[in-house]
Structures are given as C-alpha cells and as structure tokens.
Chain A
Amino acid sequence: MMIGLLSFLTIIACGGEKTEESPASNAGSKGIGPVKSVTLGTLDQAMADRGKKQFEAKCAACHKFEEKVVGPALQDVTLRRTPEWIMNMILNPIEMTQKDPIGQELLGEHLTQMTFQNVKEEEAREILEYFRKMDLK
C-alpha cells in the first residue's frame, strides 16, 4: 500500500502529463489508482462508523448526500460507480480528474479540483463502507 501511495504522490509532484488512454467503456470502470480490486462482504457496521467519522472530518466540507454542494451529491454513489473507482477517486483525485473519463467529466461539471485529503487506503475502504450503508437506507 505504501508503494501505491508513494507512486501516487510522485504523480502529483510531477504535475501529471496528459496521455490518451481512455478505457473502452466507462461502465464498470475501476478508475486509476492504487486500488485494483475490492471484495465486498455483508455490511460491516463498525467499519462504516469509522468511515462516517473520516467522511465528516475530511469530505463533508464539500459533499452532502442529498444535494450538490462543492462536489456532487453522494446518494447512490455505490450504485453508480464500482468500489474500486470510488476508492481511487478518494486516494488519487488529481490523476483521476486528469485521466479518467468519468473524473474528467465530473471536473468539467463541478469545476473544483477534488482534494486529496491525506486519507490512507484502509480509511478510504471505511469511507466506502459508510457509502454502502447510506445507500442501503
């Protein structure tokens, strides 16, 4: 995981050159970043609670569930995107908005660069769990 984070930081540091490498289809895209594959089980309440805390500290300033504020509304995000895509967007937002077709489109729509909030990979997983919980409501 450290290697993943490090290489991702390097990409930010270097400003990320634009390359043309769009996947054939956006549906089911896993995005670009350290997360290659996520296995989902039944909802882990404790994990979701930790994710809620992370979300409130680092994400809630720009995201609500029911409405767009700075960034898009997050209700049903786990239905719209793959778990990998969500985690990569949290962990690697700059490259995602530069290279990932969905990310590019979202930046065009919301016009504010999503920030990397120094979230660790396991914390991103907890945030994903919180999103799953919210989408079960």
Chain B
Amino acid sequence: MLKKSNLILVTLGITLFTFLPNCKKGAATATLASDAASRVYVAPGEKDEVYAFLSGGFSGQMSVYGIPSARLFKIIPVFSVFPENGYGFDEETKDMLKTTHGYVPWDDSHHVEASMTDGKQDGRWMFLNANNTPRLARIDLKSFETKEILEIPNTSGNHASPFATENTEYLMAATRFSVPVPQASVPIDSFSKGGFKGTVTMVKVDKNTGRLSVELQVLVPGFNYDLSHCGKKKSHDWCFFSSYNSEQAHKMLEVGASKKDKDFILAFNWVRAKECKDQGKAYNFGGDYVNNFKEENKPAVSTRLSGVKMLNPKDCPGMMYYMPTPKSPHGTDVDSTGEYIVGGGKLASVIPVHSFSKMMEVKDKKEHHSTEIEGIPVLKYESTLAGEVKKPCLGPLHTEFDGQGYAYTSCFVSSEVVKWKLGTWEVVQHLPAYYSVGHLSIVGGSSTEPYGKYLIAMNKITKDRYLPVGMELPQSAQLYDISSGKAELLSDFPTVGEPHYSQMIPAKLIMDKTAKLFPLEENKHPYATKSENDARIVKLGNTTHIYMTAIRSHFKPDIIEARTGETLYFHVTNLEQDYDIPHGFAIGGAPNMTNLLIMPGETRTFKWVAPKPGIYPFYCTDFCSALHQEMQQYIRVSP
C-alpha cells in the first residue's frame, strides 16, 4: 500500500495528465452529434419540467434554475446581504443575519436539503447550511423567501448540515472544525491530545410550521465531521456522518490527516439519542445561540437563546458506532431502499459500500468490534461491508441514486461521473465532467422515490468551457439525461457562486402553490398603511415615521420635510394587489441602505438619517408602468 503522502503526489500527477488533454481539446463531445439541443430547449412561454435549487457556496445564497433549460429564475438571499432587494438592510430583514457574534452579513453555504414527508419530497421547504458562522436556514417554497435562521451553538464549521431524517423530523448538523467545547483559549497542539471536540446537533423541525429548535447535542471525538445523509425505510432511525482526520493532526493536515488507511463513517441512531434524552441521560450544557424568525409580511424577530441538552455517547449505549471507511471519506450517501451506505473517499481507490442489515447484525457483537473510541464502538471494516466498487475512478466523492438500481458517483480528481450497479458493484459507464466535479444531484435523488431522469454534476473548474472573463471563471453545472440505459450529457451552464450541492424537485410539486401576492387585508405589519387615505407623517421628537403607500405610479406622501440629523423611517406599503407588480424604493445618496423591493401587499421599512441640507430625490426602482419614471419625489432637508 502506498503511503498517503505519496499517493497524493501520484494523484496530483494523474490530475495534471487527465486535465490537460481535456482542456486543449475543449469539450468537443458527443453532445454535438446528438439531439441534445432540442432536449434542453424550452420554447418561449413553455415551462421547465424541474426546479433546481443550487446552493451558492461562497455567495451564501441559493439560486433557482429551470431544468432542462438551465435558465436562472431567481437568487434567494439567505446568509448574505442582497442589495438588489434590501435583504439584510431593511428593518424587516436585518435581524435575520444576527448571531451571537453580532451582525454577520455573509456566509458560505454548501448543502441544500428538501423537506420530505414519508421519505418523499413534499415541496414545502428548503434548508441550507452556513458553514462559517454555524447556522441553518429554512426557505419557504410558497414565497421563495428565507423565513428562519437558527444558529448552532457549540460547533465550528457547520459542514455536515442540514441533512433531514426521512420525515423531516430532524435536521442534522455536525462540526467540521473540532474546537474546545465549550470554547476556550488552549494551546493548539492540545487538539492532538484529545482536547478538541465535535458535536452532532439534532435540530427539530415543527411538522406544521417548520419552526426550528435545538433538540439535543451529542459530544463526539474531535475529528472533522464532513458530510451526512440520513437513513430511509429500514434505516429510518439512523443518520451517517463521514469523518476525516481521525489522526487528530493540527498542522499540515494534507499529510497529517492522511496517515491512516481508514477514517470513519459515524452511524448515529437519532431515535435512540432522543430516547436517552427523554430518560434524563443528557445534561445541561452551555452555549449561546440566536434564532431569527420572519413571519410573513412582518419584521423578523431575533431571539437570543442559551443552553442545550448535551449527551455523551458512553451514557447512551447503542446510539453510535464507527464504521472504518477508506480513505479520508468525504461523501456518505444512503440509497433509495435504505440498505446501502456509500462512502466516498477523496483518496480512496475503491468506493466502499456498507450494508445496513449487516451493521444491525454485528453492531453489538464484541467479535466484530476492533476497538472503542470515547465510548463509541468501532466495527470491523469487513463486518459491515456489502461490497466495493473496484478502481472506479480517482477521488470518488458523492453518490446519488436513480431508483432503478444504479448509483452515480462523482470523481473529483479524474473529473468524471461513474455509473455503477448496486449489488454487483460493476461500473457500467464513465461520463466526463468539465472539470473537478463535487456533488451530484438527481431529481428526488436523496428521497425514497427518485424521479430520476435528470442528473446534474456541479463542477469547480471551467477552464476553456466559456468565454474568458479574467482570472476567475464562472463555476458550472452539467446536465445529463439518465432516463435511458446510457446517460448522456445534454448541456452545461455557468452558475452563481459555487454550485455546491443541489436538490431538484419536479415542477408540479411546487408551481401551483406559489404565492402571488400578500393580501392587503391580511397585512399585520405594525407599520402597514392599507389605504392611501391613511398615508401620513408622524413626528415623535427627533424621529419621524412616514407611513407611505406605493401604487402605479406614485408614492403618497410625496413631499417630505426633515431637519439634518433627524431619523426618518419610511414604512412603505405596496398597495397593488396584482401578481408581479413590486415597487422599488431608493433615496439618492442614502448611506448604509440599499434598494427596497416591496411585493404587492407588503410593507417594508427604510431607515434614513437626514444628512446635510439639500433636496434628496426618492424614486421607484422596479419598472412598474408607462409612468414609472414619474414615480419620484423629493425630501427637503433643512438645517
């Protein structure tokens, strides 16, 4: 067996070789000779078949595409401010980005998860993680807006998140960067002495409202917990987390964390964990965190919370097991039947597949244990192994399932997707990816009933694929048709930010349920102005509240007088009750504030401190009618 450091050099070498020929040739692929263009063509006025929700990586947002056309429909702001519509700036949404660290207007969003009922996508919510400042968001698929953000305490680098149980009972979130728990200033080398820990957090999702709450945390050994997927059907009670750096190295990780031949997949019985909590085996533990909730058409309410229930694995036997998995595993994916748990090892030469039934059979038999780590039994590799896909590719990462007995695994190093058969572990097809593919997504691919048909590969590098635009090129997603025996590349398209992971949902599950407007009668915003007759200016000392209405093509009141230093709140209600007629609101030169887009029937508030004397125009920014340009007026600021 090669040492890991050597293996890295070897794989790097292979990477260069496999890359360059591709890059030189461009992508003159078989696509050109097929009818792929007509299969992604959606005629004017026709609708796409599938919604694709892509995370934005370092953009912190989520974007919505139509498949197969790959047309971009919307960017939904989640963890980053969005000057285009005022998200994170106005009085209604700025509290959405509050954390215990203060206002954090950016994050790194990796994993999109769809809500499920009985293992099937239900089209109600999307969930998204924030890696950098650990948070988890719920996006409502009626309005396509972020409704809730929950900070996760006692963790660092919320990477293995937010993976849902089969019925969206819970979302899982686990630590990427182990740290002292609770936080403390300690010598960094104490990591290698077991001084750092990870946590696995169970976030409860209220089944009617979707509201999020921290149910329980489990204190786990200080490895890096990387990804997760939860079980289905027979494995319903379990979630599986990949981990790396079981060496607990704290410097030069690319060598130090790759010494051992195998790291682990952590099998976590969340039903058992809840049972132990209910039996009083969890203890009160600190940890401050913030929950931000935005009810429809109301200002977000930010609540600071403190303390969680913490559980140690040794106090809850039967809750956790480690399954050794080669080598620095990254992805862990559960097939549609719930039987197979597929590991993806960045440096592994095989794709290991664990059997859930075997795991159940051996998990409590001592002869199948090799050792124990901090109260968590380590099972023998062979004891849970269902099979290995031999020499599939270089750098297998993530696997999705088509529901027809085939699995598709992305291979980062060799830039390809391999299709292989569950049960026989034979590779049946190699599909090139351009280039350095990370996650894959099949429509419904992580549910119990994949809709199959389309697969997208999300790529990190696009050298030579598109017109050059300076040093940084757009990242891309690549669309394959997997409906017939042989998967075919249909198209690729540039994406916003890094398209890290995606969930794709058949359009029919969502399109008829989307909201068209906020009914004015139901507007419960404390500063709503539901009739132009009620538009008014209320002065309270040095603060002025302007109850303003907007309708095609004017604001009321439209003449505003203020004094330098006075604080003005523009509470603007859009009186339209017509689909697709938002109004914009912007004031010339306003610092610390951006545009507002106000949906029909919605109220949003723009805070402005009157600057030096002068005349300041304000106007509608969202083209609303033939007289849109006339939708403008003035604020006079006097000394």
Contact = CB atoms under 8 A, between A and B. Distances in A.
Given A113-B625, A118-B517, A118-B519, A62 B552 contact: yes
Nearest to B517: A118
6 contacts: A56-B531, A60-B531, A61-B575, A62-B552, A112-B627, A117-B576
Given A115-B577, A117-B575, 11 more contacts: A56-B531, A56-B533, A57-B520, A57-B530, A58-B520, A61-B554, A111-B627, A112-B627, A116-B578, A117-B577, A117-B578
A12 interface: yes
Interface of A: 12-13, 56-58, 60-62, 70, 111-113, 115-119
B17 interface: no
B581 interface: yes
Contact of B551 (A13, A111, A115, A118): A115
Interface in B541-585: 549, 551-554, 556, 575-579, 581
A56 B578 CA distance: 17
Contact of B552 (A57, A58, A112): A112
Nearest to A107: B626
Interface residues of B, number: 22
A97 to B, nearest CB: 12
A60 B553 CA distance: 13
Contacts of B627: 70, 111-112
B577 A116 contact: yes
B532 interface: yes
Contact of B549 (A12, A61, A117, A119): A61
Nearest to A71: B552
B532 A60 contact: yes
Given A57-B520, A58-B520, A58-B575, A115 B531 contact: no
A113 B552 contact: yes
A78 B549 CA distance: 28
Contacts of A113: 552, 625-626
A56 B519 CA distance: 16
A87 to B, nearest CB: 16
Nearest to A69: B554
B516 to A, nearest CB: 9
Contacts of A13: 579
Contacts of B626: 111-113
B553 A118 contact: no
Interface of B: 517, 519-520, 530-533, 549, 551-554, 556, 575-579, 581, 625-627
> What are the 9 tightest A-B residue pairs by CB atom distance, in nearest-first order?
A118-B577, A61-B532, A117-B577, A61-B551, A57-B531, A115-B578, A111-B626, A112-B625, A56-B531
Contact of A112 (B553, B577, B579): B553
B533 A60 contact: yes
A56 B556 CA distance: 14
A115 B581 CA distance: 9
Most buried by A among B517, B530, B575, B581: B575
B556 A61 contact: yes
B530 to A, nearest CB: 6
A115 B552 contact: yes
Contacts of A62: 551-552
Nearest to B628: A112
B601 to A, nearest CB: 8
B520 A118 contact: yes
Nearest to B625: A112
B25 to A, nearest CB: 44
A118 B576 CA distance: 9
Nearest to B551: A61
Contact of B553 (A56, A57, A58, A70): A70
B303 to A, nearest CB: 33
B530 A115 contact: no
A12 B625 contact: no
A13 B627 CA distance: 23
A70 B519 CA distance: 23
A116 B600 CA distance: 11
Contacts of B576: 115, 117
A136 B257 CA distance: 88
B554 A70 contact: yes
A119 B575 CA distance: 13
Contacts of A58: 520, 531, 575, 577
A95 to B, nearest CB: 13
A62 B556 CA distance: 11
Nearest to B521: A57
B431 to A, nearest CB: 39
A72 to B, nearest CB: 15
Contacts of B552: 62, 70, 112-113, 115
B519 to A, nearest CB: 6
A62 B519 CA distance: 19
Nearest to A55: B531
B602 to A, nearest CB: 13
B618 to A, nearest CB: 17
A29 B639 CA distance: 58
B536 to A, nearest CB: 14
A117 B577 CA distance: 4
A107 to B, nearest CB: 9
A131 B551 CA distance: 22
A99 B625 CA distance: 19
A62 B554 CA distance: 9
A112 B626 CA distance: 6
Nearest to B575: A61
A95 B551 CA distance: 20
Contacts of A117: 575-578
B549 to A, nearest CB: 6
A46 B485 CA distance: 70
Contacts of B575: 58, 61, 117
Contacts of B532: 56, 60-61
A112 B554 CA distance: 11
A57 B577 CA distance: 11
A121 to B, nearest CB: 15
A96 B154 CA distance: 61
Contacts of A60: 531-533
